[in-house]
Amino acid sequence: MNAGAAIAWGLRRDLALAMRSRAEVAIVLAFFLLVTSMFPLGLEPDPALLSKIAPGIAWVAALLASLLGLPRLFAGDHADGSLEQLALADAPLPALVAGKVLAHWVATGLPLVLLAPLAGIQFGLEPAAIGILVATLALGTPVLAWLGAIGAALTLGTRGGAALLALLVLPLAVPVLVFGAGAVESSRAGLGAQAHLSLLGAGAILSMVFGPFVTALAVRISFE
Amino acid sequence: MSDADVADRLEVEDLACAAGIRTLFQGIGFSLGPGQWIQLGGPNGCGKSTLLRALAGLVRPLAGSIRWRGEPVSQARERWHAAIAFQGHLPGCKDTLGAAENLRWQLLLDGEPAGPARLGELLAQVGLERQARLAYQRLSAGQRRRLGLARLVASRRPLWLLDEPTTALDAAGQALFGEILDRHLGDGGLAICATHLELPVRSPAIRLELGGRPRA
Amino acid sequence: MAGSGFFRFSSPASFYPLAGRLVPVFGWLAAALTVAGLYIGFAVAPTDFQQGEAYRIIFIHVPAAWMAMFTYLVIAGWSAASFVWNTRLSAMMAQALAPTGAMFAFISLWSGAFWGRPTWGTYWVWDARLTSTLILLFLYIGLMALRATIEDPRRADRACAVLALVGSVNVPIIYFSVQWWNTLHQGASVSLTAAPKMAETMLAGMLVMGLAAWAYTIAAALHRVRSIILEREAHARWTRELVR
């Protein structure tokens, strides 16, 4: 199988699997909105304050929600032997992995991007800011997906669990958080979000180019 | 030397594998040609599964060389993967998908035709035609093993690496396995089966026993 | 890198005695440099007219931060070497360096708190260097945690090597993003990087302390790698002969 067919295989199979487990996927999205709802309860529902902190909170909630969805990516395949078969297939493993991560993003990342306006409304964000928030999430969630994929592959079969995965992924995700949330603030301050969006875009491209190879390497390491 | 001139031959020399710090086995060597198969035996924990996984390339051996058609396997990973069909302890099937669906994804991954007619034919050959749409998690252990046989039937790959292939199969299922393996060997295929059971295969096996206690 | 002369020591068995001889050398060097550095820092360097005596903590804070960062890059280097040459010892060196790097990150944060308190009245500020060092500490903890949860030593070597390399690529990006974030919010927070105008002696003091930290790291890592070697080669003949 060539790379294109391999990506298609991974994408279609994992989307078919996600369709069968719609509930699992929906839980991740509910978690996102749950986390954003916690903050006004923990602080005060002062509109000015909420509007100010909204981008940061939306981004942190997106980070946490994406962490929550990660075990779905490789753990199931690892447990039932499918991952083994992928590693032994006559197809480039990076391409198979890319298909899987793409399906994962479509099932958990893309809905997050589409749900973000709801979080924006919860916090009284103005439409322009919501627009920028959605754009940063659209560019940033693929990076999170790839960082998460590398972390998930490295921790396959270990006892560390979700906490270890979070410990590995969150520090690496700091730049995405900074530029993502910063973009909204910057555009509000009238400085425009061009630079932030370009950096996020560059990050997305880099992660899509290198992510598959590093993740495939991490998957192979997990069999040893 | 054209492809046709190079026979399907597996040559293993001086293979050694470790599990953690212990050396499981060392000095394993053999040569396997078309139509031949190895029955890999030994007590539990002696490294049969590890040997198969090392041959497949999932695990790095400590030492030794593996050559397929004269080429070292480590230098031609893709050709090697295209030549083997590996079935380990884990089935490689998804619980939430049906039997036929699982087979379909596996065949597509193997590069084999996977149209509905073909799937129906394969399932019928292994006695699962009535379970085609049943969710995989509802299949019994024996039925799951038969689904694995369906994949082997469809496989055109020359070398089969099978780990305990007849576990959970009833007598009819074991006979079926024997037929499938005989047919494969008759077509010039090769196989290495790790098992501690006697397999109902007509072709005589080369027996390879991995030593008793793991050596330090 | 050099040819066979260097690689002669790439087997754990031959490296073990060499490391043993080097530990005291670097240990004494570290001790001497620390005394010299502290002398310069606390006795020779002039009192800063802005911050008084409290600023002297930078002689610990800054070299520790440098060392934490530098050690991470060295770990990445050893990790790359372990992939390229497939040597166990490179991976063991990466493993041995991590705790010391983490320690320096922690010392940097701790000493930063002691600087912040008398100077700005608070134990913690979100300035660029402190924040980056905090994230670096998390990266170290991640490395050590991953090592701890993977049982097979060879798999742990390779997994940690991948993590260290991915992390090292990210470290400059993280530092850059934190710097950016910090300048955006300039007005809101005070900065510990607004250091006093550097008198030459202050710089010399920091450099000497930096070298001291470097020598200490080498000594600690070599000492630690000896334990790692013994643990991982426990089944080999030469270790049994050693114990006899």
Please list the alpha-helical segments (H only) found in A105-160.
Answer: 110-122, 127-154
Nearest to B136 by CA among B104, B161, B168, B101: B101
Query: For C94-116, how does the pLDDT look when each residue is reduced to its tens digit (9 = 90+)?
Result: 999 999 999 999 999 998 887 77
B111 touches chain A (CB under 8 A): yes
CB contact under 8 A, B56 and A88: yes
Give CA separation, C7 vs C84, C124, C226, in Å.
14, 46, 18
**pLDDT at residue number A192:** 81
Chain B residue nearest residue A92, CA to CA? B78
Instruction: Give residue-wise pLDDT tens across range C113-160.
Output: 877 777 777 778 787 888 899 999 999 999 999 999 998 888 999 999
Asked if the C-beta of B215 comes within 8 angstroms of chain C's C-beta atoms, the answer is no
pLDDT, tens only, B37-71: 999 988 887 888 999 999 999 998 888 999 999 88
Q: What is the tens place of the pLDDT at every residue in A210-223?
A: 999 999 999 999 99
CB contact under 8 A, C146 and A224: no
Query: Measured between alpha carbons, how far is residue C97 from residues A161, C16, C25 in Å?
Result: 25, 16, 18
Phi-psi region of B111 (alpha: psi -120 to 50; beta: other; left: phi over 0): left
Given a contact cutoff of 8 angstroms between Cβ atoms, the answer to whether A175 and C174 are in contact is yes
CB atoms within 10 A of CB C199: 12
pLDDT in tens, C3-53: 455 566 678 888 888 888 888 999 999 999 888 888 887 777 666 666 666
- The predicted pLDDT at position C115 comes to 77
* Least confident segment among B4-8, B106-110, B185-189: B4-8
Confidence of residue B5 (pLDDT cuts 50, 70, 90): low
Contact residues, chain B, for C234 at CB < 8 Å:
21
- Give me the residue from B60, B82, B109 closest to A85, CB to CB: B109
Please give the distance of CA A121 from its chain centroid, rounded to a whole number.
22
So what's the pLDDT on residue A100? 97
The amino acid sitting at A178 is V
Long-range contacts of B197-202 (CB under 8 A, 24+ apart): B197/B164, B197/B166, B199/B39, B199/B165, B199/B166, B199/B174, B200/B174, B200/B175, B201/B37, B201/B177, B202/B178
Question: What chain A residue is nearest to B112 in terms of C-alpha separation?
Answer: A1
Q: Does B216 touch chain C (CB under 8 A)?
A: yes
**Of the candidate ranges B170-184, C77-91, C222-236, the one whose mean pLDDT is the lowest:** C222-236
Model pLDDT, residue C64: 93
How far off is chain A from C157, nearest CA to CA, in Å?
10
Q: What is the pLDDT of residues C201-230, one digit of tens each?
A: 778 888 889 999 999 999 999 999 999 988
Percent of chain B with pLDDT over 70: 95
Q: Domains in chain B, start-ordered, CATH in brackets?
A: 3-209 (3.40.50.300)
Q: What is the pLDDT of residue C4?
A: 52
Q: What is the mean pLDDT of residues B132-153?
A: 93
- Chain B and chain C share a number of CB contacts under 8 A equal to 9
Q: Which two tokens stand for residue C50?
A: 């802005």
| A74-92 confidence digits (pLDDT tens) | 999 999 999 999 999 999 9
What is the average per-residue pLDDT within B129-143?
92
Separation between Cα atoms, residue B148 and residue B23, nearest integer Å: 31
Chains in contact with C via at least 3 Cβ–Cβ pairs below 8 Å: A, B
Give the C window 126-155 contacts with A, CB below 8 Å.
135, 138-139, 141-142, 145-146, 149-150, 152, 154-155
Q: What tokens appear for C192 in the block?
A: 């510990």
Lowest mean pLDDT among C70-74, C193-197, C222-226: C193-197
Mean confidence (pLDDT) of chain A: 92
Which token pair is C166?
């991915």
The pairing of beta strand B10-19 with beta strand B22-32: antiparallel
Number of residues that this document lists for chain B: 216
* Interatomic CA distance for residues A89 and B57, integer angstroms: 11
Tell me: pLDDT of C88 over 50. yes
Chain C closest CA to A63's CA: distance in Å? 16
State the Cα–Cα distance between residues B15 and B106, nearest whole angstrom: 30
B22 touches chain C (CB under 8 A): yes
> Amino acid identity of C70?
F
State residue C50's pLDDT score. 64
> How distant, in Å, are the alpha carbons of B101, B117, B154 from that of B114?
10, 8, 9
Any CB–CB contact under 8 A between A214 and chain C?
yes
Q: Once rounded to an integer, what is the mean pLDDT over residues C165-176?
A: 91
pLDDT at A117: 93
Tell me: pLDDT of C62 over 70.
yes
pLDDT, residue C189, reads 39
